[in-house]
Each structure stands twice: as structure tokens, then as C-alpha cells.
Amino acid sequence: MPHTPPTDTPAVRRRSVLAAAATAAAAPAVTALTAAPAAATPPAAPVAAPAAAAPGSRPRALRGGGDLGPNVLVFDPSTPDIQARLDEVFRRQESAQFGAGRYALLFKPGVYHGLNAQLGFYTSVTGLGLSPDDTTINGDVTVDAGWFGGNATQNFWRSAENLALVPVSGTNRWAVAQAAPFRRMHVHGGLDLAPSGYGWASGGYIADSRIEGGIGPYSQQQWYTRDSAIGGWLNGVWNMVFSGVEGAPAQSFPAPPYTTLDTTPVSREKPFLYVDGGGFRVFLPAKRTNARGVSWGNGTPRGSSLPLSRFYVAKPGVSAATLNQALAQGLDLLLTPGVYHLDQPIRVTRADTVVLGLGYATLIPDNGVTALKVADVDGVRLAGFLIDAGPVNSPTLLEVGPPGASRDHSANPTTVQDVFVRIGGAGAGRATTSMVINNRHTIVDHTWVWRADHGEGVGWETNRADYGVVVNGHDVLATGLFVEHFNKYDVQWYGQRGRTIFFQNEKAYDAPNQAAIQNGPVRGYAAYKVGDEVTAHEGWGLGSYCYYNADPTIVQHHGFAAPNTPGVKFHDLLVVSLGGNGQYEHVVNDTGAPTSGTSTVPSTVVSYP
């Protein structure tokens, strides 16, 4: 029987502590796999490359639909050698943390036997039914940490969606860190969130899933579960947050560290690809208010769908001008797996536009441009892609709404889901501000905005990025907000009536000295700052950690800063000094005990003010 660690023993270290203990392997070059070809839509809707236009004439119209490219592998139950093909992708991606490989593994409805889909970096496994129960794998979808010596704190950028699993041992292993969503999954058994050997882990996110058995987080330091049904929850380390989860443990923060909300105020699940009559469609789930439990409990979920012919199916190498031409024609965007360089922003100006990425499609803005900008319009859905900062500083990387946006979008909000941002790591990258939310009523549902602390192009000035997420719009909701390592503020929230359910943060490891983070008279920039003019704001289950390894004598005045007014409320806050490398004086403003010595024990505030 595997060793089960004590449930009250916190994980002491984070990913950079052990980075020297493992060698990060470069990703192998992407070559063609011997695999099932990507399924295609009917011939009436092929992808057309932009044709050269005569001088002064309009470019020829683009057409939607078409095949999904070589890095989308589509299986059905009759496909031969599925396991071998899964293993080949895993071999390429297991340790390719900053490589260029991107893969989507798609399973058509049916029953599959004896599979173990091990997932490495930039790999998504997805069922193609309307319900997770349409596609059943008698086997496992596995994330472990053998490549990194049993440490799961760098198991980023991978996902599992829309499948039913019957695990071989009765329990499926999903030992992940940030940017690794587990969505619309039905596990006929338990779920283990720790690596084999129960090494360090730092995740994670579950949504719209049913886990029939119990969930064992073991060494996971923090976790957020939304709108799901679970058979039980074993333990907690620092910060376990639940909203709208049937079977969640009762509210008990800080001992055990459970923050539990009966419902999620507003949610709208991520768009997803499915097959209908042999062709692909994209399902657009409906908005739910005061949501609880899965959205697909009665089979077909509520919402609408679009045929793939309504999407421009983009392939790596396409220009930003072509993507914008497709949008201007009224097409939505499906970004197939790969890396896309942009010499101008992708501009979303039409209400209800969908931009959906497969296999961690990655946008890199060149020459200091912004990768993507959204107008002040209703119902835009951004989902499933990574933005990687380029070497020339971008003032922003993602802008949801223009400055001064003021329209009411409460009936049909924009959603930003599994959209991740990275500055550095794969090479030098710079951006003043990563993500700016200007549109009212936007829902940011699971993001990891990360200034890299390891990899290539990493240093206090090398991958300079002052601000992570800036929220100017009113009535914005964040569910699952992960923002780390920025040179100044990680989150700044200026909009009224903002709400955050779960926040995970680390301050920048590499601050060279106290002076480098001096914020006027205040020592250090708060991880999460609510603007001085804000009169209404609320947050639940928020945590900030420090690990100032360049200068362990650095003192951070607080993790959270906010106006001291009755309408600005926080529930279940914590700050942690990892091994005494830097200290917090307070939790929020001047409230909360300092962290102490090398104990790595959280300082908590249950309610503020």
C-alpha cells in the first residue's frame, strides 16, 4: 500500500526550490506522427488560404471549416494502436516544458478499453460527445511527475475535458500544477491529485465534473473546485476552495483550510468541440446563475452550437491580418495546435465571437504589439490558448474591452477561460501589464498569469513585467485566479463590485533587495490591491506566498491591500513565508500576524474588515 503522508504536514518547498534537482529537457522537434488523420468537416467547407488580390482590390473571402491539422489526433474505438500513439505523444511532451510541440487528442463517442493516456506538456485530451458519458475510457488519463524526480510543481499546461473514466485501480492520478484544468469529466472512482510518492504539488482546478469517489489532494498546497459533484475530500494543506460543489466539505477555514460557497454566483462553461453526424460542431454552454453541480446532469447541456463551417480553422504560420480578415467576415476562430506569431493585435469587434484554441495554441506578439483586443461588445468567448510575451516589451498582452468601456453586459458577459499568459521561460519576454479587463461583467474563469521564475530568459530585468492582471471594469467576477511573480502588483482591481473566488499568488522570487520592491513608504507591492476609490468588492479564499531567494531578508508589509470600508470584504485570507525566505508583516493592510521564522506556517485572517 502506498505511503500516505500526514494530512497536517504542509508542503514546504515550491517549484524553483527543486529546479536544480532536475534537468529540463528540450522538446524534440515536431515531426509527423504515425496516427489517425484529423477528421474533417464535409467537403463543402474547406479551409481556403487567403488568395493574392490584385492591387486595390479586396482580398478574396475566406471560408470556414476544414481539417484540424497534423497535431490533432482523432480516435474512434476502431482505431488501431491507440496506446502506441498516445505513448509517442507523451514521449515527445513529457519533459518539453518550453518546447514548441502542441497536441490535441480527440476521442469520438464510444467505449475504449485498456488505455492509459499519460499527458505531458501542451497536451489536451478531450471527448467529442455532448456529454462526458458519451465517451468512456476504461483506463486512465494520467499526470505524474517522474520526469521531475517526483515533484509535481512544474506540471503545467495540459488538460482533460469531456470524458468518462473508469480507472483501472479505482483511482485516477492527476498530479498537476497551474494551467492544467480538469473540466467536464466523469470519474467512476476516485481522483488522486498528488504524484506517486506523494512529493510536492501545487495546483489546480476542477470544474463541471462528477467524481464518484473521494478526492485525495495529499500534498497539494491549494486547489479550486467549481460547480461539480464529488464523493468526498480527504485533506487540505493551505487553501482549498469550493463553490457550487455537491459533496464539498463544510466551511472550516483555517483548520481545516476549507472555504466553501454553496453556489457560484455566475458561470458559463467553456465552449467545446463535439461531433454530430460525422462533422464537427462547437457547443456554447448557457450562462447559469447561482450554479451548483454539473451542467450536464441530464445528458445534453443547455446552450447552443455552431457548425465548424462558421469558424476559420487557423494553422500555425497564418498572419494576424488573415485572422482579422476572418473575424471581419463574421467567422469565429479555431486555433489549431501550434505557435502563432502576430505582428498586429487580433481584434475581436463583433458580439458573440468565439476564439477557441486546441492543444494550447500559443500566440506570440512580435515587436511589442498586444496579442488580442476585444471591443465593448456582448458575449465574447475566449478559451483554451496561451499568450507568450515576445522579446520587445508589449504595453499589454490581452485587453478585454477598450479603456473607458461602460456598456452593461450582465445578460451576456464575456468569458475568459483557460487563457494563460507567460512572460519568459521559453525565452526573454517583456510586458508592462499582462491582462487588462475593461469590459463590465466579464467572467475570468481559470487563468494563470505567470512571470517565469525558471527557464530561459529569466531575470529581474530580463523578463520585466510590472503588473499581472488589472481590472478596470465594474461587476467583474474571477473564479480561479492564479497570478505570480510580477515585479510590482500582481493584481490591481479598480472596478466596483468585483468578486474573486480563489486566488493563488507568489511574489517574485528574484527581487534583488528591499529597495527593488519599495513602494513609496510601503515595503513591497501587495499581491492583490483593491483601488482606493472602490467602495464594493468581495473575495473568498485568497493566498499569497513569498520566497525571496535572492535576498531572504526582504520584508513584505502585507499580501493584500484595500480601502478600509464596510463594502470591501475578504473571507479566508492567508500569507506564507516559504522556509523563511522573506517575511510578511501582516496579511491585509495592517491586520494579521506576521509570518514567523522558517516555520512555513500560514498567517491567516478569517474575515476582513
Q: Which residues are catalytic?
A: 506
Q: Which residues contact 297 (CB under 8 A, 6 or more apart)?
A: none
CA distances from 27 to 89, 90, 285, 452, 530 (A): 11, 11, 35, 18, 40
Strand pairing partners for 519? Answer: 522
Strand pairing partners for 279? Answer: 276
CA distances from 608 to 257, 498, 544, 576 (A): 17, 16, 16, 18
**Phi and psi angles of residue 328, each rounded to the nearest 5 degrees, phi first:** -65, -30
CA angle 216, 166, 191 (to 5 degrees): 10
Q: Which of 11, 12, 16 is nearest to 509 (CA)?
A: 16
Q: Give the three cell numbers for residue 362.
A: 500559443
3-state DSSP call for residue 148?
helix
- Residue 110 region by backbone torsions, left for phi larger than 0, else alpha for psi between -120 and 50, else beta: left
Give the DSSP per-residue string, 522-536. EES--SEEE-TT---
CA angle 499, 10, 528 (to 5 degrees): 25
Q: Which residues contact 132 (CB under 8 A, 6 or more apart)?
A: 162, 163, 164, 184, 185, 186, 209, 210, 296
Cis peptide before 28 (omega within 30 of 0): no
Rg for the chain, CA atoms, rounded: 23
DSSP tag of 34: S
**Phi and psi angles of residue 89, each rounded to the nearest 5 degrees, phi first:** -65, -45
